[in-house]
Amino acid sequence: MLQNHIQGKTLMHPNNYYDIKVNFLSIHNLNLELLNCIPLKNNIFMKKTMYKYLVLLVFTGLLSCKSNQKNEKVESAQSVPTVSNETKEEVINDTKEWLGLIYDNNYSQSWDNAASLFQKAVTKEQWTQQLSGIVPPLGKVISREVISAEYHTELPGAPDGEYIVIQFKTSFENKNESVETVTQMIDDDQWKVSGYFIK
């Protein structure tokens, strides 16, 4: 006889390949006592039919669950904000040009081309003074290679917006290896530098 109802219980597959937690079927209202009132031959036939029906329901339920999980993953992946590779390439090239201003000792122009958030954080005089003590000792740029370029809508200590954080592996004349991190953000409908860090 069928002993387990299939609502909130674990149904054991007869071959013990897996346990299935079923919460979407409710057949406990079946009057199984009717099976005992049927002749033995028909009783066995109905039990086999019922078993096949249950297996079919469980299998269908598993397919439905897997399909729902797959759809949830697709929707989640589609909801992640991003930008096109073309946009990233353009921003990377703009960043290289901005860094070129710094290492051509054009500090004031690099401040003028930066985002308003950057300009509010540091004055042009402060920026020029800081770079004057950092850039000359490094010497000329030998190479600059992109390590990563990641898009964000949130950054620690910054207002929500659109950002691309770019990291470069850079070699200087007097410093073999260093990492430059430049943050670009959308400011007045344009990508502009909002942060620069070198180590």
Q: What is the 3-state secondary structure (H, E, C) of 127-148?
A: HHHHHHHHHHHHCCEEEEEEEE
Q: What is the pLDDT of residue 41?
A: 46
85-198: CATH homologous superfamily? NTF2-like; domain 1 (3.10.450.100)
Confidence of residue 68 (pLDDT cuts 50, 70, 90): low
Domain boundaries, the chain: 9-79, 85-198
Confidence of residue 192 (pLDDT cuts 50, 70, 90): very high
For 54-76, what is the mean pLDDT?
Answer: 45
Give tens-digit pLDDT for 95-114.
Answer: 999 999 999 999 999 999 99
The torsion defined by the Cα of 61, 62, 64 and 67, in degrees rounded to 10, comes to 180
- Is the pTM higher than 0.75? no
Strands 163-172 and 141-152: what pairing? antiparallel
**Distance between CA atoms of residues 16 and 85, nearest Å:** 49
Please determine, for residue 10, whether its predicted confidence score (pLDDT) is greater than 90: no
The H-or-E segment that residue 184 falls in is strand 178-187
Please determine, for residue 53, whether its predicted confidence score (pLDDT) is greater than 80: no
- Residues 141 and 157: beta-carbon distance below 8 Å: no
**∠ CA 61-63-65, rounded to 5°:** 70
Give tens-digit pLDDT for 71-96.
Answer: 554 444 445 578 899 999 999 999 99
For 20-27, what is the mean pLDDT?
Answer: 36
Confidence of residue 181 (pLDDT cuts 50, 70, 90): very high
